[in-house]
Amino acid sequence: MPIENRGHEHEFEPQFGLPERLPADEAILWQGSPRVGVLLTSAFHFRKLIFYFSALILACAWPALEQGAGVVAVLQGIKWIAPLAVMALLGVWTLAWMTAQTTVYTLTNKRVVMRLGIVLTVTYNLPLKQIKASDVRALEAGAGDITLALKGSDRIAWVQLWPSVRPWRLTQPEPTLRAIGDVAEVAAQLSAAWISNAGMDFQSPVKTPRGLKTETPAPDATHWQGSLT
């Protein structure tokens, strides 16, 4: 079964997150969307943007501060950059919120379905038999990313998947379930469904940021190949 692109804008959904009702022999195992806060920090780099704009504001205010000028002089120095910074950060937050609201990931016993797009909604069907490996990256509060490496020559353009794609893999884009909650549990369900379809196991470590504790899935639940760098 090849990767399918349902490239039309959905006016309605017969099933939530799906462009059509599932066949009788297929069932939904899990559905979810990105967590806004985690998506902001991991995909949109919101903390780095805050630091960047703070540095700009400080640079604009520094001449007045260095001369010991009053509050009015400091405000005059940042009167343009501060509103622009707030507008930029608000725009990024809005984009992340809209992305989380319009993105739906669905895992069935036969495929992974990704409904993406804020203006133009596009659905990608990724048959489990087309998945050769997966990486799991734990982020914060039990959330994380699950990246899917695909078999064969079928590819989806990186820009069409963003932000639901592994960063910097431009020539061989890897669809990614971004910033989903309970990532270890979802990974275990994906592994079990994959094994059921492919009849074999695969391995991959769960990468955890420094200082973050995650529970290791049960031995019979998840074994993956590859690693995130």
The 3-class secondary structure across 86-128, one letter per residue, is HHHHHHHHHHHHHHHHHCEEEEECCEEEEEECCCCCEEEEEEH
Q: What does the pLDDT read at residue 229?
A: 26
Q: What does the pLDDT read at residue 2?
A: 53
- The CB density around residue 172, as the number of other CB atoms within 10 Å, is 10
**Distances from the Cα of 145 to the Cαs of 11, 70, 118, 142, 192, in angstroms?**
29, 48, 20, 10, 18
Strand partners, 145: 137
Residues 166-173: contacts with CB within 8 Å, 24+ apart? 166/135, 166/228
pTM, full prediction:
0.78
Q: Which of 15, 229, 18 lies closest to 122, judged by CA?
A: 18
Q: Which residues fall within 8 angstroms of residue 216, CB to CB, at 6 or more apart?
A: 184, 206
* Residue 59, token pair as written in the block: 């640079």
Confidence of residue 5 (pLDDT cuts 50, 70, 90): very low
**Distances from the Cα of 114 to the Cαs of 18, 28, 91, 123, 210, in angstroms?**
9, 13, 24, 6, 30
Return the minimum-mean-pLDDT range out of 98-102, 109-113, 152-156, 222-226. Answer: 222-226
Confidence of residue 151 (pLDDT cuts 50, 70, 90): confident
Instruction: Compute φ and ψ for 162, nearest 5 degrees.
Output: -55, 135
Looking at per-residue pLDDT, the higher value among 2 and 146 belongs to 146
Show the DSSP H helices in 23-108 as ranges: 36-42, 46-66, 71-77, 81-102
Q: Cα dihedral sign for 58, 62, 68, 72?
A: negative
Q: What does the pLDDT read at residue 29?
A: 94
Q: What does the pLDDT read at residue 170?
A: 82
* Percent residues over pLDDT 70 in the chain: 80
